[in-house]
Chains A and B, each alone.
Chain A
Amino acid sequence: MFSKRKFSIICLALALAMFAAGCKKKVPAPAPPPPPPPVVQPPPPAPVAPTVSQFTAEPSSIQRGQSSTLRWEVTGAVTSVSINQGVGTVQSTGNSRVSPSDSTTYTLTATGPGGSTTSSATVNVSAPPPPPPPPPPSNPPVSIDQRLGSDVQDAYFDYDKTDIRSDARDTLSKNAAALKAILSDFPNASIVIEGHCDERGSAEYNLGLGDRRASSAKEFLQGLGVPADRLKTISYGKERPQCTEQNESCWQKNRRVHFVAGQ
């Protein structure tokens, strides 16, 4: 702005000019012209409520779980705009994403000095169709036979014996854990413990040996918490050897309990 000094000089100059004009000879002056009529100022216009030029829901129909977008535009003198149903105070122009669970009518209220205006937009919500099932997995689930084959091993016995020897103890202990998992994964399945013998004893007696081997194994597994009502036993004596060579290696392979899925 002007400095104080400059301002004083301007005011002094103005005051001198006005004095000079007033100090002239007195001459009878003509009648002063009538002053222009006073300007009539129009009264200021009364204030108007705001205009909601747009309030839409896009799309207007959704399925439960989907969302819709509210768009609005409010013009005019606006002091506040709000939308109900939990949307709240908003700008004059804007949009908001909503996901009502049921059909809902949103009301926009625009308030200004001239009053308030409301507008509505409805989002229709319908129940969705049942979802499609998940597509089949690209790797098929492992069958109980595969699980038994990979996770549960044969346990072996001495000649003419049905007691669980130490290596069988280890095998059956590991089997117990696997069997519990399998029985849990296949709630309707049962497991059959087969008892077998080598070919040397008489077949009639071997039927008994095989039965006792299967029972011994079942009791051992029961003791480790495998549910007994899901375990069955069957003896094949020496009727189903898994090898036929006449040597101890094959004979030992046949003196076993073997686990299969029940029918």
Chain B
Amino acid sequence: MKKLICFAIGVSGTLCILLGQDAVINVSKEGGIPAIAIPDLRGAGDAQKFMAAFNETLSSDIKSSGRFKLVPKTSLPTFVPQQPSDFQQPAPPPAAAPLRGRKQPAQAVTPTNGGGRWMQDWSSPPAQANFLAFGYTAAQNGVLVLQGWLYNLAKDTPANAQLIGKRYLGTVDEAGARKLAHEFAADIISLFGGQSLFGSHIFFTSDRTGHKEIWMMDPDGKNQRQITRFNNISTYPTVSPDGSKIAFTSWVKGQPAIFIFSVDPVRDLRYYNQAASVNQAGSFTPDGKQIIYASSAGTGRCCRIFAANLDGTGFRPISSSSAIEVEPKVNPKTGTDIVFSSGRSGPQQVYRMSMDGSDLERLTPGIGEASNASWHPDGQHIAFAWTQGYSTGAFNIFTMNVATKEYVQLTHGDGKNENPSWAPDGVHIVFAKTRGNSSQIYTMLADGTQLQPLTTTGQNERPVWGK
């Protein structure tokens, strides 16, 4: 299957979808993205009290996948099937009665819709859905059970329509209900070539305790929890490809130095820094065995780009300019080239270079300041922050095709927008938006739509999205 990547440019706001190689459903191009109807599911007995959380999570995951148009619940039929046997076939029209005598038999009224009991109730106006997700939950033997189905409404009978018919299990509490919703949504999304973000995490810097520390949270902003407790300045996190480790920079030992921690359990893995006034963590290599970073080692002035093992040994410089070169990021697909910010031509710009230091090229055209480059999982695009068209320091998020250097602007003023990081699904971006004196973390789709704030407490910044 050909990989198609395009990014919305004009006002049409149409999102073209990145299709994975294993897509099962071939999305029809004329109709745009498919419409899915998801009526509120209900729970039997004890399960019902968690269904608000369940339904909210299910709709939110499906909506934010960017692969569906969610039919408004007000357009849905009133009868909601809970299992396949709830469906009925529309009644055939009655045969014409033979004419006898002068009395005509009263014409039987043929119902034109089943109120929700017929599949066509869901595919016809006003719902006009292509797909229907339905089911129910119940608490059984101390376990919360979800029976979930996905129907293709283009088919003629329920038996032929079933794409998913599955049982999911969780704990009998709100967290369990949310988990079931996440898993059901994940199955639906992956059927359409997407990747659920459930199970991935966003790492970020927060000062809500009075000091800048590294924190993590779920992609919907839930379960925010503190990782470092250095009571100092700890920031600039980056996450390993498998999501198990983070590297970051902290002033806890005096000068800014690199730390590598495992995430679960939280543990200092003891990175040995070069003696230098600045050591700033950059990113992990795709094999997860090395990091690249910026350091003032050797020259005594920040910074050149180095690579080293995860314990700090085997360090070697990659770049050789005398300018400030920082935040290097390795291509996650090839592992052989990097993007980074450099002041070698004046105000900072985004550059690309091979890991051996050759093939250097500047990606941004040299207007304004460009920073915070972040690779798309496809290894062919980046997102970055740029001040082009705005005053100094007024950054916006852009995406760029690295080969062609064509770029697309995703945010348009409304504060400073910085540190974009791609989600593993290649469709979402997490970034930080600063309005006045408040900096908060948002997600959005790769076309700049569906902005979703994730944080509210303290100053929150520098997010990275890990598996």
Residues on A close to B: CB < 8 A?
Answer: 159-160, 199-205, 207-209, 211-212, 214-215, 233-237, 239-240, 244
Contact = CB atoms under 8 A, between A and B. Distances in A.
A164 B392 CA distance: 22
A208 B233 contact: no
B389 interface: no
B309 interface: no
A203 B296 contact: no
B27 to A, nearest CB: 38
Given A204-B341, A204-B371, A205-B343, A212 B235 contact: no
B324 A209 contact: yes
Interface string B212-228: 10000000000000000
Interface in B347-389: 347-348, 369, 371-372, 385
Contacts of B347: 160
A233 B256 CA distance: 11
Contacts of A237: 256
A239 B233 contact: yes
B190 interface: no
In order of increasing CB-CB distance, the 6 nearest A-B pairs are A200-B393, A208-B324, A202-B371, A211-B302, A208-B302, A204-B327
A233 B276 CA distance: 10
B92 interface: no
Interface in B308-365: 324-327, 341, 343, 347-348
26 contacts: A200-B392, A201-B348, A201-B369, A201-B393, A202-B327, A202-B348, A202-B385, A203-B236, A203-B462, A204-B294, A204-B371, A205-B327, A205-B343, A205-B369, A205-B371, A207-B280, A207-B294, A207-B302, A208-B294, A208-B302, A211-B302, A214-B277, A233-B277, A239-B235, A240-B233, A244-B437
B270 interface: no
Interface in B249-286: 249, 251, 254-256, 277-278, 280
B32 interface: no
A202 B369 contact: yes
A255 to B, nearest CB: 12
Interface of A is mostly: mixed
Interface of B is mostly: loop
Nearest to B343: A205
A235 B256 contact: yes
Classify chain B's interface size: 35 or more
B245 to A, nearest CB: 20
B320 to A, nearest CB: 16
A1 to B, nearest CB: 113
Given A201-B348, A203-B236, A205-B341, A211 B277 contact: yes
Contact of B278 (A199, A202, A203, A211): A211
Contacts of B278: 207-208, 211, 235
A212 B303 CA distance: 9
Contact of B296 (A202, A204, A211, A236): A211
A235 B279 CA distance: 11
B63 to A, nearest CB: 32
A211 B385 contact: no
A205 B301 contact: no
Nearest to B394: A200
Contacts of A159: 392
A205 B235 contact: no
A211 B303 contact: yes
Nearest to B205: A203
A207 B293 CA distance: 13
Contacts of A234: 254-256, 277
Contacts of A207: 249, 256, 278, 280, 294, 302-303, 326
A215 to B, nearest CB: 5
Given A205-B348, A208-B325, A237-B256, 6 more contacts: A202-B371, A204-B371, A205-B371, A208-B326, A211-B277, A234-B255
B300 interface: yes
Given A160-B347, A207-B280, A202 B418 contact: yes
A244 B278 CA distance: 24
Nearest to B391: A200
Nearest to B279: A207
Contacts of B343: 160, 205, 208
Contact of A212 (B301, B341, B372): B301
Contacts of B418: 202
A207 B256 CA distance: 9
A254 B278 CA distance: 19
Contacts of B395: 202
Contacts of B255: 234-235
B177 to A, nearest CB: 39
B417 to A, nearest CB: 12
Most chain A CB within 10 A, of B277, B418, B437, is at: B277
A203 B392 CA distance: 14
